């Protein structure tokens, strides 16, 4: 197991899975400094061949309670506000485009920028009792780190409109019914289940994981016919890999594959 620690986060790698824990007491407010740390952590994980999947969670009773209100209060102009939003979007876009699966383990309040962070992860688990929402409208602003774009694509336009325009949070169970999270588990079991799923993914071929993530991510931006073209091209590229040969051989020989990740 390897581990690294920043001022506002920790990262531990075990069995090909990285656990990134946001640790900015008391409520894991998403400050520009925390975003910068998170950006650096994912840059490092992208280069680490020992990591094949990532679990992202928060320390204590909160995933992320929101953005730093003091930062929002000090924005001097529209230009500065736009720059702040673009900076946050850039970092979250990188996580969404990460070539290894990222699972958000939402352990408590997941509001504002916290939900926007969770939305850019590939899969979301929530603990029972977690609350998820985009309350920015209550401050006279709106989501700026991708919430108005990712939430409608995930839960549909009508429900996203309701949640964004009222700022009302939803429970973990309602979030699952909306498709916002894929699993609700007890708080005590959250990390075990998230890391368990990550390990199931980590034993797969790295090149197949990367291609599948790309097909889904980029295909969602295309119409069906163009998405199918992308899928076929990526499928064809995988047919030239050693891992395709190993995976098929292992199946025919009734044994576990030994992927080389190329």
Indicate which residues carry an active-site annotation: 116, 136
Which helix or strand (DSSP H or E) is residue 13 part of?
strand 9-14
C-alpha to C-alpha distance for 102 and 93, rounded to whole angstroms: 13
Question: For residues 118 and 110, is the Cβ–Cβ distance under 8 A?
Answer: yes
Dihedral (CA of 134, 139, 143, 145) sign: negative
Please give the DSSP secondary-structure letter assigned to residue 222. Answer: S
Q: Which DSSP string corresponds to 33-98?
A: HHHHHHHHHHHHHHH-TT-SEEEEEESTTEEE--B-HHHHHT--SHHHHHHHHHHHHHHHHHHHT-
SS3 9: strand
Residues 6+ apart with CB under 8 A from 232: none
Q: How many CB atoms lie within 10 A of CB 101?
A: 23
Q: Is 176 exposed, middle or buried (0-12, 13-18, 19+ CB in 10 A)?
A: middle
């Amino acid at each position: 197991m390897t581990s690294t620690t920043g001022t506002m986060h920790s990262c531990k790698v075990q069995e090909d899975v990285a656990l990134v824990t946001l640790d900015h007491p008391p409520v894991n407010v998403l400050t520009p400094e925390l975003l910068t740390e998170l950006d650096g952590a994912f840059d490092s994980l992208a280069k680490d061949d020992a990591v094949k999947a990532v679990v992202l969670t928060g320390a204590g009773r909160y995933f992320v309670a929101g953005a730093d209100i003091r930062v929002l209060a000090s924005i001097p102009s529209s230009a500065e506000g736009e720059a702040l939003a673009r900076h946050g979007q850039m970092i979250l876009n990188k996580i969404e485009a990460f070539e290894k699966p990222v699972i958000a383990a939402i352990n408590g309040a997941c509001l504002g920028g916290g939900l926007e962070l969770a939305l850019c992860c590939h899969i979301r688990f929530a603990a029972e009792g977690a609350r998820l929402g985009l309350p920015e409208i209550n401050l006279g602003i709106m989501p700026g780190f991708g919430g108005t774009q990712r939430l409608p694509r995930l839960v549909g336009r009508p429900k996203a409109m309701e949640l964004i325009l009222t700022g009302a949070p939803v429970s973990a169970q309602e979030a699952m019914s909306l498709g916002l999270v894929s699993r609700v588990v007890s708080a005590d079991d959250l990390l075990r289940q998230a890391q368990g799923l990550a390990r199931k993914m980590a034993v797969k071929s790295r090149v197949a994981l990367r291609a599948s993530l790309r097909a889904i991510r980029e295909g969602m931006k295309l119409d069906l016919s163009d998405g199918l073209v992308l899928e076929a091209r990526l499928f064809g590229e995988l047919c030239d890999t050693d891992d395709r040969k190993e995976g098929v051989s292992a199946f025919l020989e009734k044994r576990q594959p030994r992927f080389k990740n190329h």
